[in-house]
A = this chain, B = another copy of it.
Amino acid sequence: MSQLDPFLSRLDRARRASKRLATVTTTQKNAALEAIASALEHGVDEVVEANAKDLARGAENAIGEGLLDRLRLDADRLRGLAAAVREVIALPDPVGQVVRGSTLANGISISQVRVPFGVVGAIYEARPNVTVDIAALALKSGNGAVLRGGSAAEHSNRVLVSLIQRAITSTGLDGDAVQTIDEFGREGASRLMRARGYIDVLIPRGSAGLISTVVQESTVPVIETGSGIVHVFVDASADEEMAVSVVKNAKTHRPSVCNAAETLLVHRDAAERMLPRLAGELIGAGVELSGDDATRSAVEGVISADEQTWATEHHALEMGVRVVDSLDEALAHIERYSTRHTDAIVTQDYANAERFLAEVDSAVVMVNASTRFTDGGEFGFGAEVGISTQKLHARGPMGLPELTSTKWLVRGAGQIR
């Protein structure tokens, strides 16, 4: 065990610390979280200085204003991060929760309880706030964390992790529980994906490309968080006011996030009644529409849609519009193009609502509500670990319990078979 290379010995430190962390009390973990929040407030100068180096390098490399903004940390944003850590303190500790249990006929008592995974790995891009986020969520759920935040935020992440480690240590827990592997570069990321025995679950957060690479290359189990090609289907019977309000909100409330709608499907009967108004309100709100022929003949100023339109997550005020002849055609379109994140129907028809709920195979399926509600906070989970678009372990918005595994405790009095 003493001959581990620097990379594996970094992972091993997290692993060893995580074993101790698995059995400490909620009170102890909350004290460590409070120390982190306080360190973020008092370490502003140190963090901002490191962040300035990342920003300077980002500007040199002309990474663009959007990325620079995501990269930037200032006193205000650090206060925000500290507040987010305190929100995690307020959440119930999932560790030790009894999921189910029973007493067997022979008198043996069995109970399934939540336990930490061990070490959570995270691979993400250029957003130093994720460093604090994941560290806090992992700590509260009793997990170690190994973070790979990307070279663009390397200086910021190094200072943040060091500050987090010192804060944890100051409360008597083992600061080694949180580690960064940014300085090991791309090779470090590759090795992290294959570090079975050191990393128990890997969470990629970022672009579709990043997530797909992690899914393809990892031998460590992955929780895939998701890109969202999200659909709203306005059924024949839809109420016009509701349809306008839901579609506008789903598209324009925050177009850059994964639960924003990308494609509007409209039943032919509804299109006759309300497509000009629906499209007009979207265009009025600054949305650029690409539509099929039926849409373009009903509405002016609509670009011609192609295959790419339906297969793209725009992250912007752009939307594809297609008129369909039936619920079946809407379901077939969703089946083909949805990334199985969130899809919604607007309808007044009971049978169609139930059929949509039953047949759409997505993490979240909605009737008469904005797709923007697919969110851990909105669902009442307090903090959001991400939105899982896979079917194994977690699906949809993930809270702290999704960062745990379970084990069975069996208490007997000498029973044998």
Contact = CB atoms under 8 A, between A and B. Distances in A.
Interface of A: 19, 22-23, 102, 104, 108, 110, 112, 115, 117-118, 196, 200-201, 215-216, 219, 221-223, 239, 241-242, 245-246, 248-250, 253, 335, 344, 346, 353, 357-359, 361-370, 372-374, 378-380, 390-393, 395-397, 405-417
A417 B368 contact: no
A214 B387 CA distance: 27
B117 A391 contact: yes
Given A361-B22, A380-B104, A392-B393, A369 B407 contact: no
A361 B415 contact: no
27 contacts: A19-B335, A23-B359, A104-B373, A104-B378, A104-B379, A104-B380, A115-B361, A117-B392, A215-B219, A223-B392, A242-B414, A248-B416, A249-B416, A357-B411, A363-B408, A368-B411, A368-B415, A369-B410, A369-B411, A369-B414, A370-B416, A370-B417, A373-B410, A373-B412, A378-B417, A392-B392, A393-B393
Contacts of A200: 391-392
Contacts of A357: 409, 411
A417 B118 contact: no
A392 B117 CA distance: 8
A107 to B, nearest CB: 10
A19 B102 CA distance: 35
A67 to B, nearest CB: 26
A417 B219 contact: no
A415 B373 contact: yes
A344 B112 CA distance: 16
B407 A361 contact: yes
Contacts of A370: 415-417
A119 to B, nearest CB: 11
Contacts of A346: 414
A4 B363 CA distance: 28
A110 B381 CA distance: 12
B364 A410 contact: yes
What are the nearest 10 A-B pairs in CB distance? Answer: A369-B412, A249-B416, A391-B405, A242-B414, A393-B393, A366-B410, A221-B392, A370-B416, A364-B408, A368-B412
A414 B378 contact: no
B249 A365 contact: no
A388 to B, nearest CB: 10
A414 B118 contact: no
Given A380-B104, A412-B367, A416-B245, A391 B253 contact: no
Given A396-B408, A410-B373, A201 B391 contact: yes
B408 A365 contact: yes
A25 B104 CA distance: 31
A362 to B, nearest CB: 7
Given A102-B380, A117-B391, A396-B408, A369 B415 contact: yes
Contacts of A415: 368-370, 373
Contacts of A409: 357, 365
B380 A405 contact: no
Contacts of A408: 363-365, 374, 379, 395-397
A327 to B, nearest CB: 14
A177 to B, nearest CB: 16
Nearest to A379: B110
A242 B416 CA distance: 9
Contacts of A102: 380
A108 B364 contact: no
A242 to B, nearest CB: 4
Contacts of A366: 410-412
Contacts of A242: 413-414
A395 B393 CA distance: 11
A379 B108 CA distance: 10
